[in-house]
């Protein structure tokens, strides 16, 4: 099988550790034939605090970038700040965490499907822009997320207007298995993933994996969450997490409406 070939080859060539066996099953379902390319991306990170590079580009103007960095609280929101600062929308994302050998810290291995903000000329990401974002991300991660990046055109805050309420809930079947999978379904808007990831970071939970998709203007996002201490999340904690995300999403939608 192509996927099995990638597993064996990747495991023997990856200088960053056994990439193949360290990736979760969700990765293999999404990328059954791409591991050899991804092993090379992991290796190109070298000793940098974070590595960002263009993986693929399509004719519709969507570009896929891969980000590799030591996993840490707030990493996803730091990555999203870079995209927002350059007026790039996250159309889809696949977020993974892999455990590396030799007592190395867990590594985030993430993919983002990016598209220029509406109103801007359709374009692919230039090599210069990719290099700029890579440098900004490396600096931000090296500074523990204390980035000097501008927040991007997020829009002014206000409490006026009305938008359809987001659907935010935990997958009940996953809860019965002891997993905490938060589902967010809402109108898509610029900066949405940044708002969600910031809300979760402020609630002191980790995002282990994530699947972010937008279809017909509707975001369908799922986040596998965990407490940094590995303790179970209580029902009160789950309710607080849900409410924090609801408020963050609603605020972001209202901000977008105010400048629409």
Query: For position 18, what pLDDT does the model report?
Result: 73
Distance from C-alpha of 72 to C-alpha of 137, rounded to nearest angstrom: 14
Distance from C-alpha of 164 to C-alpha of 250, rounded to nearest angstrom: 9
User: In this structure, are residues 207 and 76 in contact, taking their beta carbons and an 8 Å threshold?
Assistant: yes
Query: For position 17, what pLDDT does the model report?
Result: 47
Q: What is the pLDDT of residues 24-45, one digit of tens each?
A: 999 999 999 999 999 999 999 9
Closest CA to 184 of 173, 176, 175, 193: 193
Distance from C-alpha of 35 to C-alpha of 41, rounded to nearest angstrom: 10
**Whether the predicted model's global pTM rises above the 0.85 cut:** no
Q: What is the pLDDT of residues 105-146, one digit of tens each?
A: 899 999 999 998 865 555 678 999 999 999 999 999 998 755
- Examine the pLDDT at 15 and tell me if it is beyond 70: no
Sheet holding 167-170, edge to edge: 50-57, 63-70, 107-116, 88-98, 206-215, 218-226, 180-187, 167-170
Closest CA to 248 of 186, 206, 205, 204: 186
Q: Where in the chain do CATH 3.30.70.260 domains reside?
A: 2-142, 167-259
DSSP states of 164-229 as a string? PPPEEEE-HHHHHTT-EEEEEEEE--TTHHHHHHHHHHHTT-EEEEEEEEEETTEEEEEEEEE-TT
How does the average pLDDT of the chain come out, rounded? 85
CB atoms within 10 A of CB 219: 22
Q: What is the pLDDT of residues 92-105, one digit of tens each?
A: 999 999 988 778 88
Question: Does domain 2-142 bear CATH number 3.30.70.260?
Answer: yes
Q: What is the pLDDT of residues 140-189, one digit of tens each?
A: 999 875 555 544 444 434 333 456 789 999 999 999 888 999 999 999 99
**Looking at the domain 167-259, which fold is it?**
Alpha-Beta Plaits (3.30.70)
């Amino acid at each position: 099988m192509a996927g099995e070939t990638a597993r064996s080859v990747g495991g023997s060539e990856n200088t960053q550790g056994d990439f193949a066996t360290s990736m979760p099953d969700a990765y293999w379902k999404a990328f059954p034939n791409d591991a050899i390319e991804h092993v090379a991306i992991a290796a190109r990170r070298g000793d940098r605090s974070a590595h960002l590079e263009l993986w693929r580009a399509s004719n519709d103007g969507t570009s896929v970038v891969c980000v590799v960095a030591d996993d840490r609280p707030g990493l996803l929101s730091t990555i999203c700040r870079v995209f927002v600062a350059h007026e790039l929308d996250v159309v889809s994302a696949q977020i993974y965490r892999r455990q590396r050998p030799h007592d190395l810290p867990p590594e985030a291995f993430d993919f983002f499907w990016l598209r220029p903000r509406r109103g801007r000329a359709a374009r692919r990401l230039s090599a210069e822009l990719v290099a700029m974002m890579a440098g900004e991300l490396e600096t931000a991660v090296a500074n523990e997320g204390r980035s000097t990046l501008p927040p991007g055109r997020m829009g002014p805050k206000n409490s006026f207007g009305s938008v359809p309420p987001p659907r935010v809930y935990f997958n009940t079947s996953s809860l019965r298995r002891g997993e905490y999978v938060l589902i967010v379904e809402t109108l898509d808007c610029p900066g949405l993933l940044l708002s969600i990831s910031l809300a979760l970071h402020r609630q002191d939970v980790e995002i282990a994996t994530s699947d972010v998709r937008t279809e017909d203007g509707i975001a369908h996002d799922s986040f596998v969450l965990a407490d940094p201490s590995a303790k179970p999340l209580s029902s009160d904690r789950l309710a607080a997490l849900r409410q924090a995300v609801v408020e963050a999403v609603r605020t972001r939608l209202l901000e977008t409406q105010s400048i629409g």
